[in-house]
Amino acid sequence: MTNLEDFFFSVDTENNDATPAVRAALAAARAGGERRLVFPKARYDFWPDRAFEQYWFISNNDEGLKRIVFPLEGLEDFEIDGQGSEFVFHGYVLPFTLRGCKEITLKNFSIDWARTFHSEAVVLAAREGSIDIEIPEQFPYKIPHDRLVFTGEGDITYDISNMLEFDTNKRETAFGVFDNFAVHDWHTAEEIGPRQVRVHAKFSTLPTPGNTMAIMDGGRLCPTITIERSQGVTVQNVTLYHSGGMGIIAQHSSDLRVENLTVTTPPESGRMISLTADATHFVNCAGEIVLENCVFENQMDDATNVHGIYGQISAIVSPTEIEFALVHPQQLGIDIFAAGDPIEFVRNTTLETFHENTVARVDRVNKQFTRLTLESPLPTDLSLKDAVANLRWIPNLTARGCRSRGNRARGFLVTTGGKALIENNHFHIAGAAILIEGDANYWFESGKVRDVTIRGNHFENCNYGVWGTATIEVNPGVAEPYRAQSLYHHSIRVENNTFDDFHGRLLAAHCVDGLTFTGNVMRPSGAYPKRSAGGELLEITHCANVDIRDNDLSTS
Amino acid sequence: MTNLEDFFFSVDTENNDATPAVRAALAAARAGGERRLVFPKARYDFWPDRAFEQYWFISNNDEGLKRIVFPLEGLEDFEIDGQGSEFVFHGYVLPFTLRGCKEITLKNFSIDWARTFHSEAVVLAAREGSIDIEIPEQFPYKIPHDRLVFTGEGDITYDISNMLEFDTNKRETAFGVFDNFAVHDWHTAEEIGPRQVRVHAKFSTLPTPGNTMAIMDGGRLCPTITIERSQGVTVQNVTLYHSGGMGIIAQHSSDLRVENLTVTTPPESGRMISLTADATHFVNCAGEIVLENCVFENQMDDATNVHGIYGQISAIVSPTEIEFALVHPQQLGIDIFAAGDPIEFVRNTTLETFHENTVARVDRVNKQFTRLTLESPLPTDLSLKDAVANLRWIPNLTARGCRSRGNRARGFLVTTGGKALIENNHFHIAGAAILIEGDANYWFESGKVRDVTIRGNHFENCNYGVWGTATIEVNPGVAEPYRAQSLYHHSIRVENNTFDDFHGRLLAAHCVDGLTFTGNVMRPSGAYPKRSAGGELLEITHCANVDIRDNDLSTS
């Protein structure tokens, strides 16, 4: 066992920075074949200054040359045990990266930043074209040349990409509000009192005085736990109070267990927002993904998203060679194929698979383009914009006993062809609690589902925000003219769930073959005003083999 | 011999992009052991889309993940002959990088960009707080939210970091004008006529109607020829019309010949500015650097700069271990030491060497910090902020028969401990024609000179701008209180030069041991108003062994 306190060298005292101690401890543990690094229970501060440096492409986050405090690479059978410690980070630094690791456990610590990447303010007044806000001292700012800029430690400044209104009392996004992305392109600001600022901008919806504006820097530069090409990773009894990006992001990894992960705001911090993006996110993973007894609260994006990546065909080089592009800017640089991988070809219109093959050779051109040589000849009706996906990296997903609430956007995004079980969870989500999507034109997230079970969950008044049209939404990116030709998703069972509901939109689904909705109970709540969108309780279009029975759906 | 035309595949036809052909040709040449890649004389367009990608730290330019059209790595005895071709680049792409190469020749081509990284405009009027400009069609722009933004190919936009006035008729920076960097932090703009814009900002000096404003994007992301850890590189008969950074930048390389390089604006382009930064720049190089029969015209920074890098001591770890920092943001990531290198320690105050040692081991922490283990014990009076420099990488420099004019800033910066010969050149430079500097507090450019000869040059009315105080300036960064204790530079001979002069400031030097100024002729010209700064013809302070004689310095 390696104990961090054996590594407090002189250089560590600057800023009370534990980063060099971690570096030395990891090196010593590796050299000595140790299996555990333990932290005496305490607060540890980590600065980027002496951190390890490496360029990372991290799906759905921002690529870049990163500073990393715990860079785990090629480690096997290793455990980091915080023993209840608080890990406090400073500035642009990634807490954990895992690459090429096997059987790693991270447990018993919390992660926060001394200065959050986002800021918050209380709404004092609002009128067409401007709002007045009061900014707590923990979010320092300046107004150079009439523009509101938040400041951090050292000379860090944070831009404003979005302002989003939260209901201060309910601690959730305010009812029916939209993101205010326009404030990024243009706003002016003026000081109107002590820490009181008037912001002139185009606001999508005028906020209510007393509510809280989450003021987001657009960057996703510093996710907390990044996992790449690793197998057997367990995150256990970890609390994530903040991140500059996602909480846990895994790519091309398998057998990932997340147990008793709590994503929330620090007690008595006065903060509304926890993480600045998704709590967890799994891209082109495999094996078993398990989320058990987790809490996902007040992060600025989805609770989880499990999906693959579609590449878009950009050139047909020969009867056995294509070039494809990664299109979504936050997917660039991810090597989605290796030689020997099974590959499917889908139309970008219907998303239907029209060809399968095997990758013989991969030549990466750069982070955007890759050339593939296939083992068998390609069909002659292959078109530019058709999409390719990897059939090897398809995980099973179990999400059980988790509580999700108060965040922006959606709950669980389930886009995987493996066996997915969403069981005994509690959702109070602004958008869709469960979204099954997949598209090859905008997000390029692949994953035709084949076996999804949603059972025994409690959906408590979901869809009070704008991110979705029903509590459970099965909405692959097939445009209306092509829906009649597409049965993209397969075998989705929604069983024995309870819906506390105020707006009569439990399920919206299209392009599904095999949809069962049985044993579910709806309890009208009147908790919020009915959303104006309207629509049916169960909106099912372009589906086959639909089985709806034995539900108790008495309307309010 | 490999001929590019054998590599025009189907994919090349998109945008008429020759980049994939170059990639294929280089691969074929390497595989076949070919020694030459020739281009049938023509215009070739190169786009970044299918270019090779690699992260580069490039001294005095901007680091980043680069797209590179000619990525030469580990090549030996290879020649690229453009045979008079025009190479036209598009967007953010580096034309040439050389790493770990030996005996490479690049010859007979020109380099330009389809859309320059900078823009230009003609001054219509100017008054306190605003100027009116007319922007030629080759520099597209938009004014979103009252801010002037220049636009490029695709969705590229160019920020404004500086506006600098050029005398349209003289094709040089206007007399005595300052850079307008403040326009970056704040300006507003409004359209006042067809392609006519009023820019409100704080201008350092009001420009004269009819003059040309160079409007610079601050980035130095795309130097044209970047050379790292290579030996024996010749650039011959090459014309550089543009760059997004420096023209030729070499680091840790030796034996570099630049012959008949022409840096200028394309004929009939209507452009005032050639490169956006220095024409040539040599950092921690060795062996022989030769600049012969070159033209350096109208680039936005110095004609050449030869120097090393000072690291700043950031921690004293043990009697034989230190940590040092690279401080200048554009020096980060450059590995200035390797095991076995001789190292000198200098005071940051006097720049005097107080200790020499040998590097036993190098541990890079990250791009900012490096830990060094030394072979012998360190002195006990070592202090933080003392500086370290490498004594292995010190080149000789010969600059002969070159013509430099019209650029912003200085001519030749000579900060090398090797033998430097500046002979038979012509200078018409806004700042100092020759600057011998070195400092360990701001630029961190090392290079105590030991043998500099400046002879037979024609200095034609230099110092009409603000970048320097004399035609030849020897000005190491030793603050006044420490100058009496410092004889930083050694053995500088200024012989048999002709100075056409309007302001009576031929030489300013301090902290030199061994300064000879003989056989020089001054011809009063009255070509510009006398600069207000005044001062002596030869201002020599804190020097030893000064020999001034046999000059013809009749004043105007």
- Which residues does residue B130 pair with via DSSP β-bridges, in sequence order? B127, B200
> Which residues form the domain of A126?
119-216
pLDDT of B216-269, one tens digit each?
Answer: 999 999 999 999 999 999 999 999 999 999 999 999 999 999 999 999 999 999
Spell out the residues 6+ positions from residue A350 whose beta carbon is closer than 8 angstroms to its own.
A478, A482, A485, A486, A488
Residues A253-299 have pLDDT tens digits of 999 999 999 999 999 999 999 999 999 999 999 999 999 999 999 99
Which string of DSSP letters, residue by residue, matches B468-502? Answer: -SSSEEE--S--HHHHTT---EEEEEEES-EEEES
CATH number of the structural domain spanning residue B383: 2.40.10
Supply angle C-alpha B333, B339, B342, rounded to 5: 95
**Is the pLDDT reported for residue A124 higher than 50?**
yes
- Residue A129 backbone zone (phi > 0: left; psi -120 to 50: alpha; other: beta): left
Residues B90, B14 share a domain: yes
- Contacts of A371-375 spanning 24+ positions with Cβ under 8 A: A371/A317, A371/A321, A371/A322, A371/A323, A372/A321, A372/A322, A372/A323, A372/A324, A372/A337, A372/A343, A373/A320, A373/A321, A374/A320, A374/A321, A374/A322, A374/A343, A375/A320
Q: Identify the three-state secondary structure at position A92.
A: coil
Is pLDDT of B155 > 60? yes
B37 within 8 A of B75, measured Cβ to Cβ: no
Q: Which of B508, B493, B478, B501 is nearest to B553 (CA)?
A: B501
Partners of A8 on chain B (C-beta within 8 Å) are: none
Q: How far is CA B182 from CA B60, B205, B361, in A?
A: 22, 12, 44
User: B234 or A14: whose pLDDT is higher?
Assistant: B234
Contact B49 A369 (CB under 8 A): yes
Which residue type sits at A68? Answer: I
Question: Does a structural domain hold residue A208?
Answer: yes
Q: Would an 8 Å CB–CB cutoff place A481 in contact with chain B?
A: no
Q: What is the pLDDT of residue A1?
A: 84
Sign of CA dihedral B309, B312, B314, B318: positive
Contact criterion met (CB < 8 Å) for A315 and B11:
yes
Tell me if A531 sits within 8 A of A488, measured CB to CB: no
Nearest-angstrom CA–CA distance, A472 and B531: 77
Q: What is the mean pLDDT of residues B348-365?
A: 97
Is B234 found in the same domain as B369? no
Instruction: Count CB neighbours of A169 within 10 A.
Output: 9
- Mean pLDDT computed over A526-542: 85
Strands A489-495 and A451-455: parallel
Q: In terms of domains, do B291 and B326 share one? A: no
- What are the backbone dihedrals phi and psi of residue A478, each rounded to the nearest 5 degrees, phi first? -110, 115
* Nearest C-alpha in A relative to B10: A317
Interface test with B, best of A54, A65, A92, A142 (most B CBs within 10 A): A65
With respect to residue B455, please indicate whether it lies within any of the assigned structural domains.
no
Residue finishing a domain among A357, A373, A389: A389
Q: How far is B264 from chain A (nearest CA, A)?
A: 32
Could you tell me which residue, B530 or B175, shows the higher pLDDT?
Answer: B175
In a domain, residue A206? The reply is yes
The Cα B135–Cα B160 span in angstroms is: 14
What does DSSP say about strands B64-73 and B196-200: parallel, antiparallel, or unpaired? unpaired
Closest CA to A415 of A439, A384, A391: A439
Angle at A488 between CA A484 and CA A490, to 5 degrees: 120
B145 and A CB contact within 8 Å: yes
Give me the pLDDT at residue A11, please.
47
**Does A157 reside within a domain?**
yes
Q: Are residues B210 and B227 in the same domain?
A: no
Pairwise CA distance, residues B118 & B272, whole Å: 11
A to B CB pairs, distance under 8 Å: 49
3-class secondary-structure state, position A341: coil
- Selected for mutation to probe chain B from A9, A46, A53 (highest B CB count within 10 Å) is A53
Å from B53 to nearest chain A CA? 5
Give the C-alpha separation, B432 to B465, whole Å: 9
Closest CA to A179 of A164, A159, A168, A201: A164
A51 reaches B (C-beta below 8 A): yes
Per DSSP, the three-state class of A42 is coil
Q: Identify the band that residue B530 occupies on the pLDDT scale cut at 50, 70 and 90.
A: confident
B366 contacts A52 by C-beta, under 8 angstroms: yes
- Would you call B369 and A50 a contact, using CB atoms and an 8 Å cutoff? yes
What per-residue confidence (pLDDT) applies to B531? 72
Stretch B392-417: mean pLDDT, rounded? 98
Say whether both A244 and A102 belong to one domain: yes
Beta-carbon separation of A365 and B67 below 8 A: no
Q: What is the mean pLDDT of residues A492-509?
A: 96
B111 close to B117: Cβ distance less than 8 angstroms: no
Contact between residue B146 and residue B119 where contact means Cβ atoms under 8 Å apart: no
Which residue of A11, A315, A366 is in closest CB contact with B51? A366
User: ∠B234-B250-B41 over CA atoms, to 5°?
Assistant: 40
Cross-chain residue pair A185–B145, CB shorter than 8 Å: yes
Positive or negative torsion for Cα B550, B552, B553, B554? positive
pLDDT of residue A533: 60
Both B102 and B225 in one domain: the answer is yes
- What's the longest Cα–Cα distance across chain A? 71
Distances (CA, A) of A375 to A4, A117, A372, A380: 51, 47, 10, 15
pLDDT band at B515 (very low <50, low <70, confident <90, very high): very high
Nearest alpha carbon to residue B51 among A99, A366, A135, A439: A366
Same domain assignment for residues B63 and B150: no
Same domain, A204 and A228: no
Q: Choose the final residue of a domain: B362, B390, B418.
A: B390
CATH number at residue B267: 2.160.20
pLDDT recorded at residue A172: 98
Is 50 exceeded by the pLDDT of residue B404? yes
Give dist(CA B192, CA B50) in Å, integer. 41
3-state secondary structure of A455: strand
Given a cut of 70, whether residue B195 has pLDDT beyond it is: yes
The answer on pLDDT for B535 being more than 90 is no
- Identify the band that residue A554 occupies on the pLDDT scale cut at 50, 70 and 90: confident
> Is A184 in CB contact (< 8 Å) with chain B?
no
pLDDT tens digits along A42-63? 999 999 999 999 999 999 999 9
Which pTM value belongs to this model? 0.96
C-alpha A76: how far from chain center: 26
Assess B55–A contact: CB distance below 8 Å, yes or no. yes
Distance CA B341, CA B390 (A): 7
Does B292 lie at the interface with A, CB-CB under 8 angstroms? no
User: What's the mean pLDDT in B278-290?
Assistant: 98
What does DSSP say about strands B162-167 and B172-173: parallel, antiparallel, or unpaired? antiparallel
Best of B366, B369, B384 to mutate (most A CBs within 10 Å, chain A): B366
CB distance from A188 to chain B under 8 Å? no
**C-alpha neighbours within 13 Å on the C-beta side of residue B229:** 11
Residues 6+ apart with CB under 8 A from A203: A126, A129, A131, A163, A180, A182, A183
Q: How confident is the model at residue B1 (pLDDT cuts 50, 70, 90)?
A: confident
Residues B320 and B380 in one domain: yes
pLDDT exceeds 90 at position B4: no
In a domain, A452, yes or no: no
A361-375 tens-digit pLDDT: 999 999 999 999 999
Write out pLDDT tens, residues B463-500. Answer: 999 999 999 999 999 999 999 999 999 999 999 999 99
Consecutive H or E run containing A30? helix A19-32
Spatial distance between the Cα atoms of A390 and A369, rounded to a whole number of angstroms: 16
Q: Do B365 and A185 touch (CB under 8 A)?
A: no
* Same-domain pairing of A318 and A350: yes
Burial tier of B481 (Cβ tally within 10 Å: 0-12, 13-18, 19+)? exposed
pLDDT of residue A4: 83
Chain A CA closest to residue B321: A11
Can you say whether the dihedral through the CA atoms of B328, B333, B334, B336 is positive or negative? positive
Distance from C-alpha of A67 to C-alpha of A51, rounded to nearest angstrom: 5
| Residues forming beta bridges with residue A231, ordered by sequence position | A102, A254
Nearest by CB to A65, from B11, B55, B323: name it: B55
How far apart CA A216 and CA A119 sit, in angstroms, is: 6
Query: Which of B11, B53, B366 is facing A367, going by the closest CB pair?
Result: B53
Q: Does residue B424 sit within a domain?
A: no
Q: Of the residues B270, B297, B324, which one is the last residue of a structural domain?
A: B297
Number of Cα atoms under 13 Å in the Cβ half of residue A173 = 28
A380 in B contact zone (CB under 8 Å): no
Of A55, A53, A112, residue with least CA distance to A82: A112
Domain membership of residue B227 (yes or no) is yes
* Residue A444: pLDDT over 50: yes
Cα–Cα dist B23/B7, whole Å = 9
Report the first-to-last Cα separation within chain A, whole angstroms: 60
CA B22, CA B28: separation in Å to the nearest integer?
Answer: 10
Query: For the segment A183-234, what is each residue's pLDDT rounded down to a tens digit?
Result: 999 999 999 999 999 999 999 999 999 999 999 999 999 999 999 999 999 9
How far apart are the C-alpha atoms of A405 and A187, rounded to whole Å? Answer: 31
User: pLDDT-based confidence at A528, cuts 50/70/90?
Assistant: very high
pLDDT at site B10: 44
Burial class (CB in 10 A: 0-12, 13-18, 19+), A270: exposed
A134 shares its domain with A95: no
pLDDT tens for B102-120 read 999 999 999 999 999 999 9
pLDDT at A534 over 90: no
CA distance A118 to A357: 45
What ranges make up the beta strands (E) of A284-341? Answer: 286-292, 295-297, 304-309, 311-318, 321-325
CA B542 to chain centre: 29
Helix segments in A298-456, DSSP class H: none
For chain B, say whether A268 makes contact (Cβ under 8 Å). no
Residues 490-509 in B contacting A (C-alpha not used; CB under 8 Å): none
Is position B157 within any domain?
Answer: yes
Please report residues of B whose CB lies closer than 8 A to that of A49.
Answer: 368-369
Structure tokens at B432: 């100092």
How many structural domains does chain B have? 3
Nearest to A11 among B9, B55, B317 (CB): B317
CB contact under 8 A, A317 and B11: yes
Tell me the chain B residues in contact with residue A201 when contact means C-beta distances shorter than 8 Å.
none
Residues near B205 by beta carbon (within 8 Å), at least 6 away in sequence = B165, B176, B177, B178, B180
Residues B371 and B272 in one domain: no
pLDDT value for A12: 53
Average confidence (pLDDT) over B53-58: 98
Complex ipTM value: 0.95
DSSP 8-state symbol, A552: B
**Cα nearest neighbour of B19 on chain A:** A365
